[in-house]
Structure 1
Amino acid sequence: MLTTSFTWNDLLFMLDGAWVTLQLTFWAILMGTFAGLLFGLLRALAPRASLPLAWLLDVFRSVPLLIQFVLFNAFKSIVGLNISAFSVGCIVLGVYTAAYFTEVVRGGVLAVPLSVRRASRSLGLSYLQDLRWIVLPMATRVAFPGWLNLVLGVMKDSALVMWIGIVELLRASQTIVTRIQEPLLVLCIAGLIYYVMSLVVARLGARLERRWQEND
């Protein structure tokens, strides 16, 4: 019998959607962080040589994420790529993350004073040693808050994958709303779940940042 009230099974269905949201966020941040780190270093250390890369990344930062999902999903069908909608969501979110994290890394690297780098070289460190032991640790602390904000943003932006057929938290919520016609109740629960997930990520990030400060 079809019920028109919110049930325990509905909550479990929403939590399953939240798990999909977390998986999308994890893979997007993983791909975007590694790619953004590489691209950010290139942009900071070789700005002229990496200009074509900068223009390409500007495209992904400028075009709305929803349009990127729709276009890539259509492109996948046109060229016959046999990948799932979940993979499409991860790839698009990963590229989107990389485009923004590139600028976060670039800003972190450029925030390291040139005098510090000169001092490290005068002490006998090679270019790579200077990059590994001086620049990256200092840039990481500068870039970390921006990276954390990016994680929280990607977690919320992942809701747009519903337009390519992925049942994440928001899509699961809309499915329940269609059945019970209680949008206020369901969306409040969805918002609470988003809040809890974001709060956990933010608290973990704040704890890590405090440990860095204590070790100084």
Structure 2
Amino acid sequence: MFETSLTWNDVLFLLQGAGTTLTITFWAVLGGTILGMLFGLARATAPWWLNAPIGFVLDILRSVPLLIQFVLANSFKSILKLNVTAFTVGCVVLALYTAAYCAEIVRGGILAVPPTTRRAARSLGMTYTQDLTNIVFPIALRVALPSWIGLTLGVMKDTALVLWIGIVELLRSSQILVTRLQEPLFILSIAGLIYFLMSFPIARLGARLEKRWREND
């Protein structure tokens, strides 16, 4: 018969870690999406002298492993004596990392709009702003949504790396319990189930939105 030393308090400890994971994911995706939209729009429409430096910075954020970014940011925080928490560092670094990928998603969505469609809109008397809000953004959103959902789910899993800067999120809380109870398979299975329960609604919401848009076409 299966026996475990896991108590209800231990489960609550895991759920607290899951709450931290969701909170970091929320702020990282929110900040990263806002920045990514701005950077993506600049990448798709700005002149080369603005596009090139933005692209260079985003390439750095995408190329350097996220773990190294966490460690470097946390180290510079101590060197510069900045009065910010490890939680804030984790959210900022992950938001910038998210923005680097979101910018390419937005850029791809904007460039997916046929130039003939945009020219037709301008020929009807639409301004540049009206062209973007009424023509480009609705079409780009449909193109970009699946990739953005995938990015969001990836960010949620990447939050596990914040344990290296001292944040107790879901993975770190499960490691603490594994060390204390010596039941790795059972505890990690529970942690995996919690990750699934957090990710599944996001994936289904994205699928439902895509289906609704297809039905309305």
Which consecutive unaligned segments of at least 5 residues does structure 1 have? Answer: none
Q: RMSD over aligned Cα, in angstroms?
A: 1.0
CA distance in 1, matches of 2:193, 2:132: 42
Instruction: Identify the residue that residue 178 of structure 1 maps to in structure 2.
Output: 179
Would you say 1:27 and 2:5 are equivalent positions? no
Residues 5-55 of structure 1 deviation map (CA, whole Å, 9 limit, x = unaligned): 111111110011001000000000000000000000000012512100100
Aligned to 2:36: 36
Instruction: Report SS of the residue matched to 1:50.
Output: helix
Structure 1 Cα separation of the partners of residues 201 and 47 of structure 2 = 36
- Superposed CA deviations along residues 107-149 of structure 1, whole A, max 9, x for unmatched, are 0000000000011011110111101110011001100111000
Tell me, in whole angstroms, the C-alpha distance in 2 between the residues paired with 1:19 and 1:107.
33
- 1:52 aligned partner: 53
Aligned residues between the structures: 213
Separation in structure 1 between the aligned mates of residue 83 and residue 51 of structure 2, nearest angstrom: 32
Aligned counterpart, 1:127 = 128
Correspondence for 2:209: 208
Report the 3-state secondary structure (helix = DSSP H, G, I; strand = E; otherwise coil) of the residue aligned with 1:121.
Answer: helix
Q: Percent identity?
A: 66
Aligned-partner residue type, residue 140 of structure 1? L
Please, what TM-score do these two structures have when normalized by structure 1?
0.96
- Once residues 10 and 201 of structure 1 are traced to their aligned partners in structure 2, the CA distance between those partners, rounded to angstroms, is 26
1:17 equivalent in structure 2: 17
Name 2:101's counterpart in structure 1: 100
- 1:83–1:92 distance in 2 versus 1, CA, 3 Å: same
**3-state SS of paired residue (1:5):** coil
Task: Tell me the TM-score normalized by structure 2.
Answer: 0.96
Structure 2: gaps (5+ residues): none
Runs of 4+ in 1 over 3 A off after TM superposition: none
Q: Name the SS for the 2:11 alignment partner.
A: helix
The one-letter code matched in structure 2 to 1:71 is L
Which amino acid letter does the alignment assign opposite residue 34 of structure 1? Answer: I
Which letter maps to 1:106? R
In the alignment, residue 11 of structure 1 is paired with which amino acid?
A: V
Q: C-alpha distance in 2, partners of 1:47/1:163?
A: 39
The aligned counterpart of 1:79 is 80
